[in-house]
Amino acid sequence: MTTRNRQWRLEGGFGLDHLRLIDAPMPVPGPGQVRIRVEALSLNYRDLLITQGQYDPRMALPRVPLSDAAGVVDAIGPDVTRLRVGDRVSPIFAPTWHGGEPPADVLAHALGHRADGVAAAFIVMPAVDVVRTPARLDAAAAATLPCAGVTAWHALMTGPGAVRPGDTVVVQGTGGVSLFALQLARLAGARVIATSGDDAKLERALALGAAYGINYRTTPQWSKAVRAFTDGRGADHVVEVGGAGTLGESLAAVRPCGRISVIGVLSGRQGPLDVTAILMRNVTLQGIFVGSRADFEDLARAIDVGGLAPVVDRTFDFAELPAALAHLASGRHFGKIVLRKDDP
């Protein structure tokens, strides 16, 4: 049994050149905890913001980055009954949030920000903050779920405005959250309109099941195309990952009494907002912060039964984290970027 634990750390400052691969001591699970041998990790846009110091410039360093992993339980501490050695699992994005409303201090536990993340060969987690991965997914596919998959599930499949068969859903861009939203909406019997800044990616979104694609660079007022495609009605749901720069178009694209899930900040955090369109048309703006363990377990069941296959753009080796983040920063990806950890 190896006694070293290869671990990424962001230390000494922000930026890709402050990521260091070090040898840490092997963690030992205490009461109620399990140790996971990590097999695969996935990247989220948040990881890029965190590494560059744009997510939280006051974040304490050093910090083990990344929130999303899949692996196998290789040791358990005393008093663990939920899991056994050999179980295939993933940590949840926000430990302590198991269902319902999040605990008031949930941000203190979110992995890779105020709490150490999962970019290591071995990690120790409370057993209650771990879920079994879908049986039909390999580790690389399972590692894509904890943030992007759960966020898309929470946005579209929960609460009073959840997607129903026959609905029309707009997804923005072809990143991790948006492609999960596309696939989940299709699983639920909805019709999907995808936007992208790249026509070749739109072709791939159509091949994944989107009914219509709009290039937001050549058609900046894409809400008009959404309204035309829906015979003037507008979309039932918009998965809003653009943020300040896209919310105006989302409000113009959504139908009266429709729902916008406010998720991302790809085009900025702040900007002018005319609230008239929200109130006059009874639009629901729903803020989404990933989701709970219950959301993750519901997603895993839906994947096993429905057969959804996460879209993996490219796989890097564990030691190539900076290159993988640079690929994310390039915006060339379609779906999720994965790191594989083949040998401890």
Residue 245 contacts ligand NAP per CB under 6 A: yes
Q: In the complex with ligand NAP, which residue's Cβ is closer, 78 or 100?
A: 100
Site residues for ligand NAP, 21-80, by CB under 6 A, read 44-46
Least Å from the CB of residue 214 to ligand NAP: 10
Contact window for ligand NAP (CB under 6 A) among 9-17, 131-139, 272-280, 283-291: 283-291
Least Å from the CB of residue 31 to ligand NAP: 31
Q: What is the dihedral of CA 221, 202, 55, 19, to 10 degrees?
A: -150
Contact window for ligand NAP (CB under 6 A) among 57-65, 132-140, 257-265, 297-305: 257-265
Residue 18 contacts ligand NAP per CB under 6 A: no
**Total interface residues for ligand NAP by CB under 6 A:** 34
Binding test (CB under 6 A) with ligand NAP, winner from 5, 196, 223, 292? 196
Residue 264 contacts ligand NAP per CB under 6 A: yes
DSSP-based three-state secondary structure for 124: strand
Q: Strands 168-172, 235-240: parallel, antiparallel or unpaired by DSSP?
A: parallel
Residue 9 contacts ligand NAP per CB under 6 A: no
CA distance 240 to 246: 7
Least Å from the CB of residue 150 to ligand NAP: 8
CA distance 224 to 202: 18
Site residues for ligand NAP, 91-150, by CB under 6 A, read 147-148
Least Å from the CB of residue 202 to ligand NAP: 8
Least Å from the CB of residue 152 to ligand NAP: 8
**Helix residue spans in the chain (DSSP H):** 45-51, 139-142, 150-157, 176-187, 199-207, 222-229, 247-253, 276-280, 293-306, 321-330
Nearest partner of 172 among 198, 150, 145, judged by Cα? 198
Backbone angles phi, psi at 287, to 5 degrees: -75, 140
Least Å from the CB of residue 298 to ligand NAP: 16
CB hemisphere CA count around 205 (13 angstroms): 34
Q: What is the DSSP letter of 102?
A: P
Q: In the complex with ligand NAP, which residue's Cβ is closer, 10 or 147?
A: 147
Which one-letter amino acid corresponds to residue 53? G
CB hemisphere CA count around 130 (13 angstroms): 29
Residue 288 contacts ligand NAP per CB under 6 A: yes
Binding test (CB under 6 A) with ligand NAP, winner from 124, 177, 187, 283? 177
CA distance 335 to 86: 29
Instruction: Give just the sign of the alpha carbon dihedral 253, 284, 303, 91.
Output: positive
Binding test (CB under 6 A) with ligand NAP, winner from 76, 208, 265, 312? 265
The residue ranges that bind ligand NAP (CB under 6 A) are 44-46, 147-148, 151, 172-178, 195-198, 201, 216, 241-242, 245-246, 263-267, 288-290, 328, 331, 333
